[in-house]
Structure 1
Amino acid sequence: MNIKIYSVYALFFFGLIVNAQQVLTTDEAIKLALEHNYGIKIANNTVKVAENNTGVLNSGYLPTLTGNAGASIDVQDTEGQRVEGDPVATNGVETRRYNASLDLNYTLFDGLGRLYNYKRLKEEYQLSELEARETIEKTMLQLFSIYYSVAQLSENTDALEETLVISKDRLARASYQFDFGQSTKLSVLNAEVDINNDSINLINAKQQLRNTKRDLNVVLGNQMGDGFNVDTDLSFLLALNKNKLLEKTKANNVSLLQVDRNINISQYDIKTNKAQLLPTIGLIGSYGWNESSTDNNPLAFTIQSTTSGFSGGLNLSWNLFDGGGTLTRVKNSKIVLENQKLQKEQLNIDVERNFNNAWDDYQNKLVVFEVQEDNIKTALNNFNRTHEKFKLGQVTSIEFRQAQLNLLNAELSRNQAKYNAKLAELTVLQLSGEILNVAL
C-alpha cells in the first residue's frame, strides 16, 4: 500500500463534505471584492465627490441670484406746523413699508483665478481616481494573499489528514503484530504517540483554516458563508518580460501617476495665487419693488407711494496691497512644487529598485518551487520504499516514521513555495500597474 492508496482513503472519509461546499474561484472572489469590499466602496464614493466638485455648479462661472424681501410697520406720534402757521398734532400714526428685490452678481474677470481653480479641480478628480485605483490594487493584493493562504492551509490540512490515516494504519499493524507476539508493546505505544501528535497538528491546522477563511470573508464584504472552499489549482505567467514590465512600471505605476497629478495641482496653485494680484471686475444687476403707506397723518403729502424698476452696473475691486500675504503664498506654492518634483525623482528610484527586487524575488521563488516539486518526488519514492520494507520488517517503526515526516514536510514546503511564488508574481504585477489587466 503506498501514499496514493492513503490519499484515496482520506478522500473517501472527507469527500462528501468537500463536495457539499461551494468552491470560490479567484474570478468570483475578485468580483465580490469589487462589489462589496468596504474600502473600495469608500474609495469610489470619494471619486464621486471629486467628480461633483468638477461640475459647472462648482466652477464659479455661474452668476449668483439673491432674492430679498421685507416688511415693517411704524407707529409714531407726530407734531408739526402748517405753512399757514396752524399747529398740528397726531397720535398713533401708522406707517407700513414693503420691499422686494432680485439681485444679480456675476464676476466678469478675476485674474483667471476661476479658470486655474477649475483646472485644479479636474486634476484632483483624476488624483482621486488614481487613489481609488491604488485602493483597489492593494485590496486585490490583500485578497489574493489571504485567498492563497486559505488554499495553502487547505492543502496542508489534506496532507495532515493523509498522515493521520497512515499513522492509524501503522497503529493497527503494530497492534496486530503485538497480539500475535511479533512485536513489543513499545511499537504500539510509539504509534499511539504519533497518532496523538498528528491529531493535534490536524486540529490546529483546521482551526487556522477556519480563521483564515473568516479573514477572506471580511475582504469580500462578508458575502460568503462558512461552508466554502477555494481553488487550489493555479498557474504562473511564465511569459512575463522583465524589460517590458519595467517600462510599464515607469509609465503606469500608480504612485508615479499620483505624483504627476500633484505636480499639476501645485502648478495651478501658483497661478491661482498670482491671480489674486490682479483686479476683479464684476457685473451687478437688481430689480426692486418698494411700497410705503401712511394712515391718518395730516403732515404727509402722500398717503401711499410705490416704486419699482431695474438697476445695473459694473464694479472693480483691486487689492493693491494685502500686507504681503499673497506674495508669501506664491513663494510657498513654488517651494511646494519644487518638493513635488524632488519627490518624483526619489520615487522613480524607489519604484525601479522595488521592481527589480520584486522581479528577482519572483524568479527565486519559482526556482524554489521547482526544487520543492522535485523534492516531493524524492520524498514520495523514499516513503514508498520504506513502507514496503516496513511491512517486511526490514526497517524499524522509527525509520518508517521519519520517512513519513519527511514526506509530510516536503508537501508542506512545496505548498508554501507554490503560493509564495504566486504572491511574488502578483507583487510584480501590482508594481507595474498590471494586476487589474491580466487574467490570473
Structure 2
Amino acid sequence: MTGLTLALALAAAQPQPLPPPSAPAAQPQPLTTSAPAAGPVLPLDEALRQAQARNLDLKAAQARLEQSNQLSAKAWSGYLPQLSAAATYTHNNVEAAIQLPTGYYVRDAAGGAVPPGTTTTQPPAYDPASPASPTNPPGGPTTLLLYPSGYETAVVQKQDQLNAQLQLTQALFAPAVWYAVKTARTGEELSASTVEAARRDILFGAAQLYYGAASLKQAVAVQERILATNRDHERDARARYEAGTVPKITLLRAEIDRARSEQDLKRAQSSYAQARISLATLLDRKDTAFEVELPPEPATAAGDLEARALSERPDVRAARQTVTLDAQQRDALYTGYLPALGAFGHYRWSNASGFTGLDTSWDLGLSLSWNLFDGGLREANLREARARLAEAEATRASTEAKAVDEVQRARLDLDSAVANRAKADEQLALARENHRLVEVNFRAGAATYVEVSDAVSALVSAELGRVNEGLNADLAALRLQKAAGLFNPVK
C-alpha cells in the first residue's frame, strides 16, 4: 500500500457531512462502534522476519536462485570425465556361424587313397613371365595336399545376442567449456543480486504496510476520542434542552455530530482491518488475529547517498553483472574457431565371441574436432552478442542514473514531508487550544454549540492531518533508505 493510498484511507476516515434528519427520533439509537482487540501485538521487526521467512513471492525467488546456483555444476560437468554404460538384447531370425580350421595334415596323394571330399585337381604350371596369382601360383605341381586336422566354430551372429559397453570420455582441450565455467559463476552472482533486490522490495512493502496499518490504528484512536467527546456533548445538550436553556436545534446538532462520529469510527475500523488483511497476506498468515504498534521513526539516511546507491543497491549491482556476463558470453563465442581435443575409452562384453574367441574387448583413443566453416553462424552469433552487450551497457548506465535520480527525489520528498509534519504539529496544537477555549466558553454560556461543533471538526482534521503527515514523513524516510541501498532490515 503506497503513502497516497493510505492518505486517501485516512481522508476517508475524517468527518463527512450528513444531511440533517427531517424528523429526528426522540431517542436515537447509536451504532455499535466497539471493536475488540484482534490479538497479540506483532512488532515491526517480527513482521519483517515473517515476511522474509514466509512470503510466497520471496520463496519463489529463492527457489529460482537455488536453480541458478547449479549453473557452475552444469558447466563443470562438460570438463569432468564422462562415464556411461549401455546394454542391448537382440533376437535375430537366424544364427550365423562359420567353421575355421585349427591345423592341417600334409599328405602325399600319389600312392594313397585320397580322403573323401579332397580336391586333387592340380593348378596349371607356373608362368614366370606373368605375375603370381591364384591362377598362376609360384612353384611346380606336386602330389602333396593339406587336410584340416580340426575345426573351430566361430559364431558371427547369435540368435539371442547380448551386448554391454562402458564408455569413458575426457575433454583435454575445450576452450568453450572453460568460458562456460566462467560465465556460470557470473550468472550465479547475477541471480543472487536479483533475488536480493526482490527480497528488499518485499521487506520494504511489508514495512510500508506496517506503518500504514499503525497510522490507521492511530486514526481509530482519534475517532474514538472524538466520538466520546460528541457523546458527552449530546448528553449535555439533551440535559440543557430538557431544562429549557437551549433550543432543540442544539440537541439536533449534537445528535448529528454523534451519528457522524459513529460512522467515521466504523469507517476507520474497517480501513484498519483491511490494512491488517493486506499485511497478513504479504506475511502468508492465515489469520489477522494480531495488532500492530506504533513503530519507531525510521532513521534519516545521511552522507553521500548517491555514491552509496551506486555501490549498495542490488539492482545496480545486477545491471553491472549483466554487462560482465554478456561480455564473457561474447568472448566465449571466439572459442568456436578453435579445435577441441578429447580422449575416449571403451570396454565391451558380448555373448558372441566372434573371430577373436574373446567375450570382452577394449580400446583407447583421441578425438579431434574442428569446425572450419559453419555457414557464417559464428559470425552472426558474434554480431548478436555485441549488440546484446551494447544493450546491457545502456541499461547499466540507465539504472545508475535512475538510482541517483531516486535518491535526489527521495531526499526532497523527505524534506517536504518533515516540513509538513512540523506544520501539522503546529496546527494540531492550535486546534487543541481552540477546542479547549470554545469548550470553556460554551460551559460558561459565552459560545454556541455551533462553535463547539466547528471546533471539534477542526480538531478532528488536525488530529488526522498529523497522523497522515507523520505517515508521509516515515514513508519518505524509508524511501530514502531504499533509494540509497541502505534499507536492509533482516540479514
Report if TM-score (shorter chain) is over 0.5.
yes
8 Å Cα contact 1:69-1:99 kept in structure 2: yes
1:78 Cα deviation after fit: 8.9
8 Å Cα contact 1:291-1:306 kept in structure 2: no
Match of 2:133 in 1: none
8 Å Cα contact 1:97-1:293 kept in structure 2: no
Match of 2:244 in 1: 181
Superposed CA RMSD? 2.6
Match of 1:54 in 2: 72
Match of 1:22 in 2: 40
Matched, 1:329 2:381: yes
CA offsets per residue over residues 300-359 of structure 1, 9 Å max, x none? xx9x94332320101111111100011110111012112211222222222211110011
Match of 1:226 in 2: 288
Match of 1:38 in 2: 56
Matched, 1:389 2:452: no
1:165 Cα deviation after fit: 0.8
Structure 2 residue matching 1:292: 3-state secondary structure: coil
CA offsets per residue over residues 79-107 of structure 1, 9 Å max, x none? 9999658xxxxxxx974433221111222
8 Å Cα contact 1:96-1:292 kept in structure 2: no
1:53 Cα deviation after fit: 2.2
1:14 Cα deviation after fit: 6.8
CA offsets per residue over residues 19-56 of structure 1, 9 Å max, x none? x8311111111111111011111111111111122226
1:404 Cα deviation after fit: 0.5
Match of 1:349 in 2: 401
Could you say if the C-alpha distance between residues 260 and 59 of structure 1 is closer, same or farther in structure 2, counting changes exceeding 3 Å? farther
Structure 2 residue matching 1:327: 3-state secondary structure: helix
Distance 1:79 1:390 in 2: 125
CA offsets per residue over residues 256-301 of structure 1, 9 Å max, x none? 111111011101111221111111111111111223279xxxxxxx
1:362-401 alignment to 2 at 5 Å? Answer: 362-401=414-453
TM-score normalized with structure 2 length: 0.78
Match of 1:255 in 2: 315
1:246 Cα deviation after fit: 2.0
Distance 2:84 2:438 in 1: 94
Structure 1 residue matching 2:337: 3-state secondary structure: coil
Could you say if the C-alpha distance between residues 37 and 79 of structure 1 is closer, same or farther in structure 2, counting changes exceeding 3 Å? closer
Structure 2 residue matching 1:71: 3-state secondary structure: strand
Distance 2:359 2:98 in 1: 27
How many correspondences in the alignment? Answer: 406
1:418 Cα deviation after fit: 0.7
Structure 2 residue matching 1:394: 3-state secondary structure: coil
Which of 204, 228, 235 does residue 172 from structure 1 map onto? 235
Once the two structures are overlaid, the 10-residue window that deviates more, 343-352 or 161-170, is 343-352
TM-score normalized with structure 1 length: 0.86
Could you say if the C-alpha distance between residues 201 and 84 of structure 1 is closer, same or farther in structure 2, counting changes exceeding 3 Å? farther
Match of 1:274 in 2: 334
Could you say if the C-alpha distance between residues 107 and 188 of structure 1 is closer, same or farther in structure 2, counting changes exceeding 3 Å? same
1:169 Cα deviation after fit: 0.7
Match of 2:297 in 1: 235
1:389-428 alignment to 2 at 5 Å? Answer: 389-428=441-480
1:382 Cα deviation after fit: 0.8
Distance 2:46 2:97 in 1: 91
Identity among equivalent positions (%) equals 22
Distance 1:28 1:71 in 2: 63
Unaligned runs of 5+ in 1: 1-12, 86-92, 295-301
Could you say if the C-alpha distance between residues 79 and 186 of structure 1 is closer, same or farther in structure 2, counting changes exceeding 3 Å? closer
Distance 2:44 2:172 in 1: 56
Unaligned runs of 5+ in 2: 1-32, 100-115, 120-156
